[in-house]
Structure 1
Amino acid sequence: MSNPGSDVILDRMMSLHPKVIDLTLDRVWRLLAAVGHPERRLPPVVHIAGTNGKGSTLAMIRAGIEGAGLAAHAYTSPHLARFHERIRLAGALISEDHLTQVLDRCYAANGGESITYFEITTVAALLAFAETPADYTLLEVGLGGRLDATNVIEKPAVTVITPVSIDHTQFLGDTIEKIAFEKAGIIKPGVPIVVGPQEEAALAVIERQAARMGAPVIAHGQHWQVWKERGRLVFQDETGLVDLPLPALIGDHQVQNAGVAIAALRALGFAEPACEAAMRDASWPARMQRLQSGPLVETAGAAELWLDGGHNPAAGEMLARVLDGLPPRPTHLVCGMLNTKDVAGFMRPLAGRAASLTAVSIPGEAATLSAEDTARFAANAGHQTRTADDVLAAVSTIVVEDPTARILICGSLYLAGQVLRDNA
């Protein structure tokens, strides 16, 4: 756990705006000016938007940069166990003292004006980045892109859009075209845009925006390809073919994320050794993560225990494909979800892969679905369901009935964060 210093300031920041999400850049520009425009003093920026795969792609790009002997700042959200995970300075998580200092400076500079939690903490991250030497800055969009608090970099080195799918419709729109338009808002004049695999409708929107901005497009299927072959990853673009190890991150969908990361690294001028490091060294918690130690693992005994934070229909489909690729073993899901998500859409692809689904609520989250409501959605999606008071109780019940089960805890990054905290 972090010391009270940053926790107190972060709690104070939550009261500066009545809404958790309120998409606009006006408040961000005001505070950036008040703290001396740190966004103008960053190392070269890679700006990453998309619905799925942003975090994994960023993790692989970071591993590639570091594998080349360089240092990268990284900004990601949300955090899982503690806020410090969001801000990585030249390869290391921000210290408690440094975090407290930049948060305090931003809070004071804001002068009590209205600003959302994500906006003011993003400015704090940019301030820390501007004042710490590094070779690159990796920024993950929080929500959307066009009006996201990270979208304040005039000329990034490269922008990236990972696969776009339906999510956050209450903020981004209810069609793939509307959502893609918001994501494409990070495209900047003359800056190369690396585009991951997309539905045709989304790709058309992205290409149209890139043409308006005069931004060179480096798109999957047109300018680069990636595939698995004989236990290796093969990437090909207009400059040649690269034979690499498979990604350290588990799942066939990570092959596509790896392709996006390699395309971005090559656009930045990195050579094959960096691409190899991107595959070999990347890690990203709660993305089909095998839990190996801790109280939950001790409770599970001989059972496999896995954790994933995916929460939308595309994530459900990816998880289903991952499970199909694992050695045969009865799979039991422990699932908790927020009431803002397409619960049935997430659960439906998993129905044929799971022997049971135990529903739990997510402690401390106002938007959590009750275990009973989650179980009802799951039953309607074709699952054999029950409820449990918490994850530990769910795992305990499963292993009594099936001691060598595969147990996958899933449905929400907030649930994943709680599991990582409790299982530390």
Structure 2
Amino acid sequence: MHESLEPIYEKVVARNPGEVEFHQAVREVLDSIGVVMGKHPEYAHAKIIERTCEPERQIIFRVPWQDDRGEVHINRGFRVEFNSALGPYKGGLRFHPSVYQGIVKFLGFEQVFKNALTGLPIGGGKGGSDFDPKGRSDQEIMAFCQSFMTELHRHLGEYTDVPAGDIGVGGREIGYLFGQYKRLTNRYESGVLTGKGWAFGGSHIRTEATGYGNAFFVREMLAARDDSFSGKRTVVSGSGNVAIYTMQKVRELDGHVVACSDSEGYVLDEQGVDVELVKQIKERERGRLAEYADRRPSGKFVANRQVWEVPCEVALPSATQNEITGKEAEVLVRNGCVAVGEGANMPTTPEGVRVFREAGVAFGPGKAANAGGVATSALEMQQNASRDSWSHEFTEQRLREIMVSVHDRCYSTAEEYGLPGDYTAGANIAGFTRVAEAMLSLGLI
């Protein structure tokens, strides 16, 4: 980190004690943008960095709800509206027991620069709750979502703040949330939530977008090295929405996906992971990945082990933050990995990133590689605003174009600042400078 930025980072840590994920996200950006400050002294004068590290608004609220047995539960809800210099706050809602203020702030901070990289007019925000949807009935999830939206709705609007889904929040949850918003406001304001079902204002491929986008981004990284997915052994962590559609698109791009995982272990299938079977088990039956091996003879389930021990040429972490440490990164490099695309948010620790960089691995950071989800959310907003709907083919083509432009923006920015091939620096600098220029233009607000 440039010495002029160290005091800023220390102040962020002091003002946000215990929020280690947020500290990590801020440091990762500050490590990259020292070279920018020398070229743009006006950023320091206007204290752009300090302002981007402080959310515009943080909302914490109580979420009371009743389960099927009549027992009352109290969860905590969050929404961090981080930066609106480029447009309305945009970012998902996460329902998971690990959610607390630090997680939401880390995600919201990353979202600001990710959204800027898309080139679309959207700011950054994030939200969620420590509610755990696993094992809950549809009725219980509806009860929770309605209580959650009863408080959150007053802070939302298609020109103010537009949430989407994230871990634990899929089409079912978005439907319940939107229904309650409509009920409370008496407005059919389609653009206030994205990730909606196709029948009520949703966009084609929104479900697939993050996974598809990650595959498109990695394809561009490989192409920049005169390479491709063709025949490459690929390993994907996770088996949820992002992982499933990452695997699907990698197969279409001629990659060979041999493993995926969940919290209990991983499946290895040398014949190629059957994505439809994973989808059946995880999306429709809401079961465990261990069942895959019971239904497919070529599949082997390895319990309580990490998928990164499987030799591969392409690694696509698509589960959660900090799942690849320096140790896992060293194993991947030793086993011949040449490209990594982060489908999840910050799944690689700083030490892991260092290992990949020093080994010459093409590394796509999450704020670039997984930008396809929010990009397609913005496309859904466009369709809602114009009372229009686009075909699957047209929407996927727009997503592909956006991901190519995100890649090119990261690649060219890294070159411009003397850091060729460093996609992390390119993404951070390109995202930060776009936000900084907008903040300067808007004045001290």
The two structures share one fold, judged by TM-score above 0.5: no
Higher helix share: 2
Query: If the length of structure 1 is used for normalisation, what is the TM-score?
Result: 0.39
